Amino acid sequence: MATVSLRQVRKSYDAQEVVHGVDLEVADQEFVVLVGPSGCGKSTLLRMIAGLEDISGGEIAIGERVVNEIDPKDRDVAMVFQDYALYPHLTVFQNIAFSLQYRGVGKAEIARRVAEAAAILDIESLLERKPRQLSGGQRQRVAMGRAIVREPKVFLFDEPLSNLDAKLRVQMRTEIKKLRERVRTTAIYVTHDQVEAMTLADRIVLMHNGRVEQIGTPEDVYDEPATLFVAGFVGASAMNLVAGRIETGAQGCGVNLGGESRLALPPGRYDAHVGMSVTVGLRPEHLHWAGDSAASMLAGAARVVEPLGSDTLVIFDVAGHELQARLPPRVVRRGGDPVRVAIAPESIHIFDPATERRL
């Protein structure tokens, strides 16, 4: 049971700073996911928490204790590595028992705890095998087992599912979620897969170029992305980002995307920004088919139509922009068909192109 606090944590390799002052408070029993593109510093941050990398600046505390100078083994954290880091010459049992042997746990107690972990992870029949005799998914479970027998204060996961094929990944994701219900421990989980982040996290930390872009629940980061980067990163299909201008007219405040295309904005909200050039974010799944009469809508012609079964992804042109919309099946059938879509004013995201932040 522990909280984890990061205060202005920095990391430099030689002169190159790769993590630029990260602040984060992880509550007790919270499952926090660090997500961001490759090279943004997620692993580096995680490894600093584990004690595998020196901390160049700032402070990391686990519970009440600042751990900057404390050895990994005394931090009471357990880590699951991307490639599992199982000891190849030891059996599954010995792999799982390894850490307990160095913590003064008795033989009988070790056997009991390994059996318990194996039961939770459903790997009881594999205990006598060597890692090379296991499938990827089974190794993954053993790696988890090695972490949970420890009963540590904090779990650290570094992309534990990225070496599995797509189907197994989804399955293991669910397993981790179930496991989480049984073993309620503070956890920090690194991934570059936003779906994994959305499905697992209590809170998501979005990182970009060594900085935190936004911290929030999955709903927060989806509903109100704080920056253009977050807007583009979160969501099953990428958000449409187009240039526009805020203007006010007879129908109230709206945003003009060029030509005749104008979308109404929530009344009053952007009054201070009238006349400003902005970046407009429209999620494909929020664009819906509009009747002929709708005043606030986008009209264009379909370029590509991709039926996905439950819905259809339509790529269409409006006022020189290429947009995507997820529409019900069979509304638009083929390229060249007319497209008429509208969006609820409160679903429109407006960003300042200069600061890239949400208005």
Partner 1 sequence: MSGHGGWWGRRRNRQLALIVCFLLPSLIVFFLYRLLPLGWNVILSFQAWSPLKPAVWIGLEHYAEMWTYDDTFWIALKNTLIFIAASPLAIAAALGVALLVNSDLKGATVYRTIVFLSYPLMAVAVGIIWRWMYDERGGIINFALRSSGLIAKPIGFLQDFSWALPSVIVAEVWQMIGFYMIILLTGLQSIPQNLYEAARIDGAPAVARFFRITLPMLRPSLFLCVVVGILNSFSSFDLVYIMTNGGPGHATELLITHIYKSAFEQTKFDYAAALTVVQFALLLLLTVAANKGAGGNAGAVERD
Ligand X SMILES: Nc1ncnc2c1ncn2[C@@H]1O[C@H](COP(=O)(O)OP(=O)(O)OP(=O)(O)O)[C@@H](O)[C@H]1O
Q: Does the protein bind partner 1 through residue 59 (CB under 8 A)?
A: no
121: CB partners within 8 A, 6+ apart: 141, 142, 144, 145, 148, 179
79: CB partners within 8 A, 6+ apart: 46, 50, 147, 155, 156, 157, 158
Mark residues 42-81: x for contact with Mg ion by CB under 5 A, - for none.
Answer: -x--------------------------------------
Q: Looking at beta carbons only, is 35 or 149 nearer to ligand X?
A: 35
Q: Does the protein bind partner 1 through residue 121 (CB under 8 A)?
A: no
61 is in the binding site of which of partner 1, ligand X, Mg ion, none (Cβ under 5 to 8 A by kind)? none
Alpha carbon distance 114, 286 (integer Å): 48
Q: Does the protein bind partner 1 through residue 15 (CB under 8 A)?
A: no
Backbone angles phi, psi at 87, to 5 degrees: -75, 110
Q: Does the protein bind ligand X through residue 192 (CB under 6 A)?
A: yes
Q: Of 86, 92, 201, 264, which lies in the binding site for partner 1, with binding defined by CB under 8 A?
A: 86
Q: Does the protein bind partner 1 through residue 107 (CB under 8 A)?
A: no
Buried b (16+ CB within 10 A) or exposed e, 289-306: bbeeeeebbbbbebeebe
Smallest gap from residue 190 Cβ to Mg ion (A):
6
Structure-token pair, residue 192: 């570059």
Scanning 79-87, 178-186, 245-253, 294-302 for contacts with partner 1 by CB under 8 A, the matching segment is 79-87
Alpha carbon distance 347, 325 (integer Å): 14
Q: Does the protein bind ligand X through residue 44 (CB under 6 A)?
A: yes
124 is in the binding site of which of Mg ion, ligand X, partner 1, none (Cβ under 5 to 8 A by kind)? none
Q: Does the protein bind ligand X through residue 39 (CB under 6 A)?
A: yes
Structure-token pair, residue 315: 């790529």
Q: Of 36, 41, 131, 244, which lies in the binding site for partner 1, with binding defined by CB under 8 A?
A: 131
Residues 160, 165, 170, 174, CA torsion sign: negative
Query: At residue 16, what is the residue type?
Result: Q
Q: Does the protein bind partner 1 through residue 103 (CB under 8 A)?
A: yes
Question: Which residues of the shown chain bind partner 1 in the complex (CB under 8 A)?
Answer: 50-52, 71-73, 75, 77-79, 81, 83-89, 98-99, 102-103, 130-132, 139, 146, 150
